Structure 1
Amino acid sequence: MTAAPSYVHGASAQPLLGDTLGSLIDRIAAAHPDRPALVVRAQNVRMSYRQFHAEVECVAAGLLALGLQRGDRVGIWSANRAEWVVLQFAAPKAGLILVNINPAYRTHELEYSLNKVACRALVLPRRFKTSHYLDMLGELAPELADSAPGTLNATRLPDLREVILLDEVPAAGTRSWRQLVALGDAAALARLHALEPELGFDDPVNIQFTSGTTGAPKGATLTHHNIINNAYFIGQAMRLTEHDRLCIPVPFYHCFGMVLGNLACVTHGACMVIPGEGFDALATLETVAAERCTGLHGVPTMFIAELEHPEFGRFDLGSLRTGIMAGSPCPIEVMRRVVSEMHMEQVTIAYGMTETSPVSFQTVPEDPLERRVGSVGRIHPQLEVKLVDEQGRIVPRGKPGELCTRGYSVMLGYWGDEARTREVIDAARWMHTGDLAVIDEDGYCSIVGRLKDMIIRGGENVYPREIEEFLYTHPKVQDVQVFGVPDAKFGEQVCAWIRLREGSRASVAEIQDYCRHHLAYFKVPYHVRFVDAFPMTVTGKVQKYLMRQAMLEELASPGEAAR
Structure 2
Amino acid sequence: MTVLFEGISSSARFYSNLSYFHHIGKSPLKHISFGNLLELAANQFAERDAVVSVQENKRITYYDLLCQADRFAAGLQQIGLKYGDRVGIWAPNILEWTVCYFACARAGFVVATLNPSYVGQEVECCINKIGLKAIICPEKSKKSHFYDVLGTVINNLRNQIPGKLNSSNTPTLNSIVTVSENNLGGTFNYNDVMGMASEKAIKQIKANQDRVNPDNPVNIQFTSGTTGKPKAAVVSHYNLVNSSLSIGKRNELDTKHHKIGVQVPFFHTFGYTVTIGATVSYGATMVVPSPTYDPLLNLRAIKEENCTVIYGTPTMYVDLLNVQMQYNEKIDPEIAVSGGSPCSPELFKKMREHLKVKKVKSVYGLTEATAVVFQSMPSDDEDKMINTVEHLCDHLEVKVVDENDNVVPLGYTTMLGYWEDKAKTNEIIDSHHWLRTGDKFILDKDGYGRIVGRLKDMIIRGGENIFPKEIEDFLSTHPDILEVHVVGLSHKRLGEEVCACVKVRDGGGAKLTLEAIVDFCKENLAKFKIPSQLRIVEEFPKTQSGKIQKYLLKKQFEESR
Q: TM-score of the superposition, structure 2-length normalised?
A: 0.94
Indicate the larger mover: 169-178 or 306-315: 306-315
Alignment partner of 1:335 is 2:348: yes
Deviation digits for residues 261-304 of structure 1, max 9, x if unmatched?
Answer: 11111001111111111221111111111111111001111111
Q: What is aligned with 1:480?
A: 484
8 Å CA contact 1:25–1:53 kept in 2: the answer is: yes
Cα offset, 1:187, TM superposition: 3.0
8 Å CA contact 2:522–2:530 kept in 1: the answer is: yes
Secondary structure of 1:43's aligned partner:
coil
Distance 1:312 1:229 in 2: 40
Amino acid at match of 1:431: L
Q: What is aligned with 2:466?
A: 462
Distance 1:393 1:430 in 2: 9
Distance 2:482 2:242 in 1: 48
Deviation digits for residues 140-164 of structure 1, max 9, x if unmatched?
Answer: 1132111121111111111111111
Q: What is aligned with 2:178?
A: 165
State the structure with bigger RCO (CA 8 A, min sep 6), 1 or 2. Answer: 2
8 Å CA contact 2:155–2:168 kept in 1: the answer is: no
Give 1:66-105 correspondences, 5 Å limit.
Answer: 66-105=79-118
Give 1:152-551 correspondences, 5 Å limit.
Answer: 152-241=165-254, 243-309=257-323, 312-318=326-332, 320-392=333-405, 407-505=411-509, 506-551=512-557
Cα offset, 1:175, TM superposition: 1.4
8 Å CA contact 1:62–1:181 kept in 2: the answer is: yes
Distance 1:315 1:494 in 2: 34
Distance 2:366 2:477 in 1: 30
Secondary structure of 2:55's aligned partner:
helix
Amino acid at match of 1:33: A
8 Å CA contact 1:39–1:45 kept in 2: the answer is: yes
Distance 1:508 1:27 in 2: 53
Secondary structure of 2:104's aligned partner:
helix
Cα offset, 1:108, TM superposition: 1.4
Deviation digits for residues 393-425 of structure 1, max 9, x if unmatched?
Answer: 79xxxxxxxxx9952000000001011001110
Distance 2:39 2:345 in 1: 41
**Residues 310/339 of structure 1: CA separation in 2 closer, same or farther (3 Å cut):** closer
Secondary structure of 1:359's aligned partner:
coil
Cα offset, 1:391, TM superposition: 3.1
Indicate the larger mover: 228-237 or 469-478: 469-478
Amino acid at match of 1:548: K
Amino acid at match of 1:426: D
Q: What is aligned with 1:131?
A: 144
- Identity among equivalent positions (%) equals 38
Distance 1:54 1:109 in 2: 33
Secondary structure of 2:14's aligned partner:
coil
Distance 1:198 1:435 in 2: 39
CA RMSD of aligned residues (A): 1.7
Distance 2:556 2:161 in 1: 57
Indicate the larger mover: 125-134 or 482-491: 125-134
Secondary structure of 2:427's aligned partner:
helix
Q: TM-score of the superposition, structure 1-length normalised?
A: 0.94
Q: What is aligned with 1:3?
A: 14
Secondary structure of 1:142's aligned partner:
coil
Indicate the larger mover: 112-121 or 545-554: 545-554
Distance 2:275 2:469 in 1: 30
Amino acid at match of 1:206: N
Cα offset, 1:381, TM superposition: 0.4
Indicate the larger mover: 188-197 or 55-64: 188-197
Amino acid at match of 1:411: M
Amino acid at match of 2:14: A
4+ runs deviating over 6 angstroms: none
**Residues 430/310 of structure 1: CA separation in 2 closer, same or farther (3 Å cut):** closer
Deviation digits for residues 167-216 of structure 1, max 9, x if unmatched?
Answer: 01121111111111112221321442353322110110100000122221
Indicate the larger mover: 352-361 or 537-546: 537-546
Amino acid at match of 1:209: F
Cα offset, 1:333, TM superposition: 2.1
Q: What is aligned with 2:9?
A: none
Q: What is aligned with 1:558?
A: none
Alignment partner of 1:114 is 2:127: yes
Distance 1:237 1:230 in 2: 11
Deviation digits for residues 212-263 of structure 1, max 9, x if unmatched?
Answer: 2222110000011111111111110111136111111101110111111111
